Amino acid sequence: MRGIVNQMQGLLLAGRYRLGESIGRGGMGRVWRAHDEVLHRTVAVKELTAVQYVPEGDRAVLFARTHAEARAAARINHPAVVTVHDVLEYDARPWIVMELVEGCSLADAVKDKGRIEPVEAARIGLWTLKALRAAHAAGVLHRDVKPGNVLLANDGRILLTDFGIAAIEGDSTITRTGEVVGSVDYLAPERVSGANPGPASDLWALGATLYTAVEGNSPFRRTSPIGTMQAVVTEEPAPPEYAGALGTVIAALLRKDPDSRPTAEAAELMLAEAAEGRRPSAGPAYVPTQVHTASRQPQTSHQHTPQSGTVAPGGGTGGSGSGYGAGHGSGDRTMVTAATGNGPGSAPHHSGTVVQGAHHSPYDTGYDTGSRPKRRKWPAVVAVVAAVVLLGGGGLGGYLYFQESADGGTSQSSAGGPGKTVGGIPADWHRVKDAEGFSLMLPKGWVREVDGSQIDYTPDHGRHFVRISVDRRTTFESPYTHQLELEKNLRTKLPDYKRLQLDQNTFRDRQGALWEFSWTAGANDTTAGPRRAISQSYISRDGVEYVLYMSSPEGDWDKARTQFDAILRGWREG
């Protein structure tokens, strides 16, 4: 990986764009800082790398999407949209040359600060909406508005980027029947149902983005794509606790029915008032119309500011490192292991405080959106089932499906005690801060055991356990390719090995892989007989590869699998 990057530095494209360092990487491509030797300016160059991992027949679609991204952005003349300068061909692939924005993404800012203050979030939303209005006026739907695609420039500008899956009015050459594209927890309900999206779908995504900005977590994020889509269609978000005057706008934008959402013009007025610290006059504060017995666990803002850096339009922050390998711990505790770093090496963790309260939903802001013609309603259950069919059942990996994240959960009770949950985590669990810098929520009575480089937490010396592996020097292209390599080793080592699933996904806004398998443990192992295991791996923005793994006897798997989902929800890197 590093070798390829080093080889490409200094490469001259189209006789004028000389590549510098790699400044970002996402699921579809890599972004480079480059120098335009004709106009003597610094630019960003987006390379399409996903073509290396897709079947030959799908490459034409990727190429078409890259050209469509350039065409979509080029049609929009607005200071809040990242400017596309050029499109060129090199190595039989299209490359996009665009404006270089120095700063960070909204996703990075939320990660670094925990939350964005409501007035600042309203300003960010206002300029993002201005960009969307310009795009809609040009006949372009963005279709992937999310915190990672909103750039916060060091000079104070707000820019919308990555029109890679934009829909251009009158252009149907790059979409395929039954295809759902976009980041799942920012998809509008009508898009999950398979209906044709309109500008209101982008406004929904803006509402979910603003919710994430002020609360520090996505409103509909669950531990699986299907769970997330079901939440988008059937559930109301937990009431925002830190939105202030922005809460009215968020509630209006997140109405399930697209016809009941405010128009872009009305939303812009509401955001402008919120950006001045005033509660928008178009709608009062939240008025609960239905009460569910649920509560949530808010995140606490970190007391430091995001580091300035270079934002690569259409790409994430880069990372590097080396790999982990498959091996055996003591007894049957077999898993994908990682070389643990030397010492904590992480910033102190500011843990959140559990706040119990009623989850009120849905909300009525009292906002009148006018007399738009009503479209036929779609049943919620039918919508989710349709989405499952469109996405091919359980196989939700693949390059055309972009899940934003998978670390949330469904809250079920506001009261503490056995069987009750807070934010999808059992209320009687507690947060454990590990010496390696991460923390996680665990049942009481689980103890830490170290086996070489493996960090385990177990209630019974390994019969049931969760294992955390940390690799600060991973060199693999992606967690998915890493897991495939590890699986080759396990197939020969584990009796009766059977893959149950191994799919690419996105966890905490980062590329990851979810792997579940079963095998038969031997008589000399901690637990003889059938066992199952599951792991969620991902590479953080700092380039650290984390693997969260859980294993138990087959007969206890239902309980262990539920515990694993709760552990994912409570996971913190530092």
Nearest to 536 by CA among 489, 472, 467, 477: 467
Is there a cis peptide before residue 199, judged by omega within 30 degrees of 0?
A: no
- Find tokens 């149902």 and name the residue: 193
171 is catalytic: no
In SS3 terms, 30-96 reads as: EEEEEEECCCCEEEEEEEECHHHHCCHHHHHHHHHHHHHHHHHHHCCCCCCECCEEEEEEECCEEEE
Between vectors from CA 150 to CA 145 and to CA 152, what angle results, nearest 5°?
170
CB-based contact 212:509 (threshold 8 Å): no
Between vectors from CA 545 to CA 544 and to CA 549, what angle results, nearest 5°?
140
Distance (Å, whole) CA 423 – CA 427:
9
Distance (Å, whole) CA 78 – CA 132:
10
Could you say which of 144, 332, 471, 565 is catalytic? 144
Distance (Å, whole) CA 24 – CA 102:
12
- Find tokens 């044709």 and name the residue: 196
Residue 49: exposure state from Cβ atoms within 10 A (0-12, 13-18, ≥19): middle
CB-based contact 355:172 (threshold 8 Å): no
Catalytic residue list: 144
